[in-house]
Amino acid sequence: REYRKRAGYKVVAITGSVGKTTTRQITHHVLSQHFKTHQSPKSFNNNIGLPLTLLNAPKGTEIVIAELGTNHLGEILYLTRIANPDIAAVMNVHPAHLEGFGSLEAIVKEKMSISEGLLSDGIMIINSDFEQLVDFCRAKKINFTSFGKNGKADVTAKNICFHSLSSSFTIDDILIELPLPGPGNVDNALAAWTICKLFGISAKDFANAVKSFSGNVMRAEVMQAGSLTILNDCYNANPA
């Protein structure tokens, strides 16, 4: 934590039941074209991986993009107090790791504890398609910026189209061609756009960068086996 304070970079911290790694990598893919950016290597999102991410940022790094993971109560609170994020994003809440949490309500509380490490002028981002997150923020008087597909969010997508192995949508009347399949990846891209927008990235620059994003191993990874197309979504996968 002390090293993070002295290092001089800004920290983006991402959590959620699913989508952390893909969102982190899209965000890094875009921001690295405009800033000196460092990200978690693989899913370094626990009490060993997060410090390694912060400590290994090269000299001159302007933005560190980190994941915060959890499988039991109190883990994110511990991690966010190390990271002290400038921007924190909660992707979603699903019934994952229930053996450690017991209920979805406990998961909401755990994920939203990321806000307790935010810097005083930090920005909280949530997915407003999950009403539990909105209700929690309002009950706790946490100011937030929202993204989502419901049209009520501060940042939303229009004209969403799903193709066999890709998707497309518009933001600010700019067409985004996302080379990733499925509605979950639209959520991931919207979260990444919300973060990138806060760093001054234009929708046009975001669109140009995203079209060259190559995806992640074992996360809706497209594999060919002769005439068969396989979606490999096996990394620590939960039903959501």
Q: Is 32 helix (H, G, I), strand (E, B) or coil?
A: coil
Measure CA of the first residue to CA of the last residue in the chain; give whole Å: 33
Q: Is the separation of the CB atoms in 45 and 81 below 8 Å?
A: no
pLDDT given for residue 146 in this prediction: 98
Q: Is the separation of the CB atoms in 169 and 147 below 8 Å?
A: no
Nearest to 46 by CA among 80, 18, 22, 23: 80
Q: What is the phi-psi region of residue 79: left when phi exceeds 0, alpha when psi lies from -120 to 50, beta otherwise?
A: alpha
pLDDT given for residue 8 in this prediction: 95
pLDDT given for residue 118 in this prediction: 98
pLDDT given for residue 89 in this prediction: 98
Tens of pLDDT along the chain (240 residues) come to: 999 999 999 999 999 999 999 999 999 999 999 999 999 888 899 999 999 999 999 999 999 999 999 988 999 999 999 999 999 999 999 988 788 888 999 999 999 999 999 999 999 999 999 999 999 999 999 999 999 998 889 999 999 999 999 999 999 999 999 999 999 999 999 999 999 999 999 999 999 999 999 888 888 899 999 999 999 988 877 888
- Count the neighbouring beta carbons within 10 Å of the beta carbon of residue 202: 12
Place of tokens 């979950």: 184
1 DSSP assignment: -
pLDDT given for residue 215 in this prediction: 83
pTM of structure: 0.95
What burial letters (b/e) apply to 142-167, b meaning 16+ CB within 10 Å? eebbbbbbeeebebbbeebeeeeebb
